Amino acid sequence: MDSASNDRAQLPRNMIENSMFEEEPDVVDLAKEPTLNPLESEEVEYEPRSSRLLVRGLGEHEMDDDEEDYESSAKLLGMSFMNRSSGLRNNVGNYRQAQEGLCPVPSARTVIVSVVVVVILVSIVTVIYLLPKCTFTKEGCHKKTQPVELIYPIATNGQRFPWTKSRLPNYIKPLEYNITLYPNLTTMTFSGKVNIKLNATGNANAIVLHSSGLQDIQANVTLRSGATHNLSVLEYPTFEMIAMVLPETLQKGTECLLTIEYHSNFSTSYYGFYKMSYVKEQNISTWLAATQFEPLAARKAFPCFDEPAFKSTFRLEIKRSEEHTALSNMPKIKTTVLPDGRLDEFATSVKMSTYLVAFIVSDMKNVTKDANGTLVSIYAIPQKIDQAQYALDTAITLLEFFSDYFGIKYPLPKLDLVAIPDIQAGAMENWGLLTFRETTLLYTENSSSLMDKQLITQVIAHELAHQWFGNLVTMEWWNDLWLNEGFATYMEYFALQSKFKDLNADDKFLKARCDAMDKDSLQTTHAISTDVQSPEQIEEMFDDLSYIKGASILQMLNVYLTTDIFHKCIEKYLSDHKYETTKSDGLWDSMNQVVGSSRDVKNIMKTWTQQAGYPLVTVEKKGKEVYVSQERFLRTVNSSKATGNSSTLWHVPLSYIFGPCNGPSENGSFLLNQTQGKIGLPSEPCWLKFNVNMTGYYIVDYGHDGWDALIKQLRSNPTVFAASDRVNLIHDIFVLSGVGKEPLLRAFDLLAYLVNETEPAPIQQALHQTRIIHSLLAKQGFSYLAANLEMRIFNLLRDKIDNQKWTDDGTLSAQELRSLLLDLACMHGDDHCINEATQLFNIWQYNGTRLPTAVKKIVFKVGAHTDDGWGYLYSMYNTSLSEAEKIKMLEGLASTDDGKKLQWLMSASLHGEDIRTQDFPAVIHFISKNVPGFLLAWNFVKQNWDEITQKFPPGSFPIQSIVTKVTANFGTEVYLNEVINFFNSTKGKSRDMWCVKEAIEAIKLNIQWIDKNRDNLNWL
């Protein structure tokens, strides 16, 4: 899934396994907890009513095999049984007290002898008393099992629920689903029937599976004998599970057929089977229904084994009205005419996880083309289908590329890409039925920019890569989500570099890596392979670390192994695990088989997947010898604490480039797998740079002399370094200055070379780093320093700004540079820039003249600063058919200084009034960026938190974005305490979300940075 793209909460120590006999916590600990969280395996808590716990003692004998399978794995560790010897010890203490009261004071010798005798007697008596009676019999003792206490939750009907874990048991597995759905877009309800063919992998007395929000559930089972039995359905909403006790034990290796009927309402959130409306050309509102199941929402549409490891085949039937079309993962094979509609039947799917199942009922139109036997289609609402051609051509190009590169043909007969009018995610990789936001699929020449085309191509590439990485081969559990998202992200950029070179994927990936490293340098970060259990924790795995860090370490490995060997490793991995699930070790084992004994990929890469953060590599040059050392880098102002645990060690594939004082530059590599290392160069270099093209996931400190040499080289001839290396140097020196390892002044000295910079990526990184400082200063009231900083950067780039034209001329790089520089000038208040933008806005408003797409957002932002301009922009927002244009208009509307208008934008987007709720996080982000709006946004989020978390699940990417963006520039103790107190007061476990802890840590860092730097910025 694309994410429309911290002290972390303490996670459970061990991921729950499906074993029937996993150890559970002490019953004493269980009783202390006030509530029950659905997916926390290491603690079971009490709910006041329906979730009461029943404690049942089983006596002293072992359970038989059938009862073991039936009773679940709630065996407790460390039960506090009262030892009979404790009473005896108390008696001994009383005995001693009595002796002291009755006897005269004895001699020392008498006391010692008496104590020794008493101790001996008590010890003998205690041993005899504690030994079983059978010890002294002729037969001796038979080994007996420790008495076991099993704890069971209580179902909604008051009966015992026969399973205690938040993960499903593994003694029954689904083989095939046959699902029939009856959606009604008039009553906004649906009913369903599912037949699940099951196989017992162990003896089973009950069937346990997932169900959430489904009503009037009726079930029966057909056993091997052919007999059908009605089953009583037990519901346990806390775990989103239902259970059915079988009439007889289902023996290991046998099969049965479970049939369940139910009905439900369409979801009002973006999860499950949900409804949405759109307006047709005649201003008529119409409804459609679509699904979003990843990660935990298939259970909201049909009862199922809703965990990735339970792969199965699926066969669907969907009833619809005559004017609608039904889509699912597989092609339609039959349509039956009914008196009240149509019943579409779809082919049986390949084996896949439940979160990849999808279906849509709508009146969408499509464009279609055959691609080597695969029917590729783009679907959109009728009035936007003319925007689908670019996506169709791009999808076919990428589908052929991936099929060839992976050596495995796309396995389904069709591939549908559907533009959904209202969807939370940027896109979703449902096998054969991919869903997208309209902004990430639809393209029009007149209103979409080259940057919009880049985004669309990226997202299509990401979702198509998922058809292999995620769909064909799936992670076993959500702790290894990076296997899906990291690979899809890496292949997204790799495909664009291979097939769409003009779209500058390298620059986009480079910026994403820098952003991910900033997040990963906090103490509240997490390893990309992390134990997760609760829904919030699973949702929060969909973050920059799973996507971007996962992709970054794969890129680093590609460079280390070489592209050809890495390619063979990918092919081996897919071939070894196709149609199955696996863990990270499965990837490394496949790679090691290709690489052989020369390099242990698993040993190297575990240091990157199982450890949080990344290394700071410190470089010291002494003549021809270079000494390198590593330590964990943590972003903190206190330089003495700027690194983590000294025992943290990575296997770092170092790459470097150096320039002899006379002659061309040279390259080298070195694997740093110890704390320190030494590299010998052929000659003493004038300058030395590590992390060539920033393909490694680490930062570098060159020390005073090393930085001076690099700065000198940048000023004399910056093109000695690739643009990616220049980005890398800007990023690293600003990050290091933020923790006091380098003076901030030296970072700005490095930026002086920008007068000779011609590429957009280094300028973008420089503006990003300086805007962080500017925004922090401005929002804490240091307006004088903020203005001086802005003027310094503006003067540095003034000549380039003056050379920009308000057109769409040039390559994507030229247009990106134009957009960056003109946006900077207008934000600075440059009269020439504002006059040009205002003139273009007025011509567009009064004459309908087309605006250049590369500068359209800038024109909208300037034009919206007047009441008349804001009103016109809003009216055009409501009539535009281009979602790419509308999101630029939305940013323009959010740039106003009018607090009432900002308040209305937030309210309208949250409630879906004229502005889609899917865009609410973007609205919060746009408003939070500006000084007039950032406090308004924070207050709005506080006042509407409950409603926000109903629209977007806690921990989800929208919630992560809202929390981090709205608090990003707080820098006082007052707001630190307000943020802490607010999240402590919220319902549920908001304060335990990783993004909340990340936000709190970021505020503390802001406070520390201001305290250290505010009095030392006179040089600005």
On the 0-12 / 13-18 / 19+ scale of CB atoms within 10 A, 567 is: middle
Distance of CA 297 to the CA centre of its chain: 16
CB atoms within 10 A of CB 383: 13
Q: Tokens for 367? A: 């464009």
Q: What is the DSSP letter of 441?
A: T
Residue carrying structure tokens 């000295």: 749
Sign of CA dihedral 448, 449, 455, 456: positive
Task: Report the greatest alpha carbon distance in the chain.
Answer: 116
How buried is 119 (Cβ within 10 angstroms: 0-12 exposed, 13-18 middle, 19+ buried)?
exposed
The packing angle between helices 563-577 and 550-561, to 10°, is 120
CA–CA dist 710, 703 (Å, integer): 11
- Give the type of residue at 806: W
Residue 149 CB neighbour total at 10 angstroms = 15
Burial class of 173 by CB neighbour count within 10 A (0 to 12, 13 to 18, 19+)? middle
- Structure token digits, residue 417: 């890409």
Q: Say how far apart CA 161 and CA 562 lie, in whole Å.
A: 54
Instruction: Please tell me the distance from the alpha carbon of residue 595 to that of residue 602, in angstroms, as a whole number.
Output: 11
Q: Is the dihedral of CA 710, 714, 719, 725 positive or negative?
A: positive
Tokens of 4: 């429309």
Comparing CA positions, the residue from 546, 529, 649 lying closest to residue 586 is: 529
Distance CA 990, CA 967 (A): 15
The rounded distance, in Å, linking the Cα atoms of 704 and 578 is 52
What element of type H or E holds 564? helix 563-577
- Strand pairing report for 699-701 and 615-622: parallel
Residues in the chain, how many? 1020
Pair 236, 156: CB distance under 8 Å: yes
Residue 463 is among the residues annotated as catalytic for this protein? yes
**619 SS3 class:** strand
CB 398, CB 409: distance < 8 Å:
no
Q: Burial letters for 903-919: b for 16+ Cβ neighbours within 10 Å, e otherwise?
A: bbbbebbbebeebbbbb
At 968 the three-state DSSP class reads coil
The neighbouring-strand residues paired with 313 are: 176
Instruction: Give the span between the Cα atoms of 423 and 757, in whole angstroms.
Output: 40
Start-to-end CA distance of the chain, whole Å, equals 44
Phi, psi of 584 (to 5 degrees): -60, -40
Choice among 68, 294, 307, 463 that is catalytic:
463
Q: Pseudo-torsion of CA 281, 283, 285, 290, nearest 10°? A: 30
The residues with which 174 forms a beta bridge, in sequence order, are: 198
Which residue bears the tokens 């420790």? 146
Residue 50's Cβ-count burial label (10 Å; 0-12, 13-18, 19+) is: middle
Q: Find out whether 614 and 697 touch, Cβ atoms under 8 Å.
A: yes
Give yes or no for a cis peptide into 308 (omega within 30° of 0): no
Alpha-carbon gap, residue 901 to 871, rounded angstroms: 10
Instruction: Report DSSP letters for 597-614, one per residue.
Output: GG--HHHHHHHHHSSSS-
Just list the catalytic residues: 463
